[in-house]
Structure 1
Amino acid sequence: MTSKFEKYHQLRNQVDQLSEQLSGLHQNHMACKKGCDLCCMDYDVFPIEYEAMKEALQNKQVDMQKSIDGSCIFLKDHMCQIYEQRPIICRTHGLPLLFMNDEQWELSACELNFTEFDDEDFTTENTFPLDKFNSKLFLLNQVFLKENNLSYSEFDLIPIHNLKD
Structure 2
Amino acid sequence: MQESIKQYKRIRDKVDTLSGKLEAEHQKHLSCKMGCDLCCMDYSILPLEYYSIRDALKARNLVPELPSVNKPGSCVFLKDHKCTIYDERPVICRTHGLPLLFMGEDDNWELSACELNFNNFDFADFTNENTFPQDRINSELFMANETFVQEFDEKKYDEFDLIPIRILAEEIKTK
Correspondences of 1:58-69 after superposition (within 5 Å) = 58=58, 59-65=61-67, 66-69=69-72
Q: CA deviation at 1:117?
A: 0.4
Give 1 or 2: higher helix fraction. Answer: 2
Match of 1:112 among 104, 111, 116: 116
Aligned pair in 2 of structure 1 residues 146, 94: CA closer, same or farther (>3 Å)?
A: same
1:79 aligns with 2:82: yes
SS at match of 2:101: strand
CA contact (8 A) 1:42 1:67 kept: no
Q: CA deviation at 1:129?
A: 0.4
SS at match of 2:128: coil
CA contact (8 A) 1:42 1:159 kept: yes
1:158 aligns with 2:163: yes
Q: Distance in 1 between matches of 2:4 and 2:146?
A: 13
Which moves more between the two structures, 139-148 or 82-91?
139-148
Which moves more between the two structures, 142-151 or 9-18?
142-151
Q: CA deviation at 1:157?
A: 0.4
Query: What residue identity is the alignment partner of 1:142?
Result: E
1:99-150 alpha-carbon deviations (Å, 9 max, x no partner): 0012111100112101110110000000000000000000000011112234
Q: Counterpart of 2:173? A: none
SS at match of 2:139: helix
1:16-63 alpha-carbon deviations (Å, 9 max, x no partner): 000000000000100011121110011000000001111122221212
SS at match of 1:5: helix
Q: CA deviation at 1:69?
A: 1.8
Q: Distance in 2 between matches of 1:77 and 1:106?
A: 33
Q: Distance in 2 between matches of 1:118 and 1:4?
A: 40
Aligned residues: CA RMSD: 1.3
Q: CA deviation at 1:164?
A: 2.1
CA contact (8 A) 1:23 1:95 kept: yes
Q: Counterpart of 1:14? A: 14
How many corresponding residue pairs? 164
Match of 1:144 among 148, 157, 161: 148
Aligned pair in 2 of structure 1 residues 4, 140: CA closer, same or farther (>3 Å)?
A: closer
1:66-113 alpha-carbon deviations (Å, 9 max, x no partner): 542210011000001110000000000000000001211110011210
Which runs of 5 or more residues in structure 2 are unaligned?
A: 171-175
Q: Counterpart of 2:31? A: 31
Q: Distance in 2 between matches of 1:63 and 1:37?
A: 17
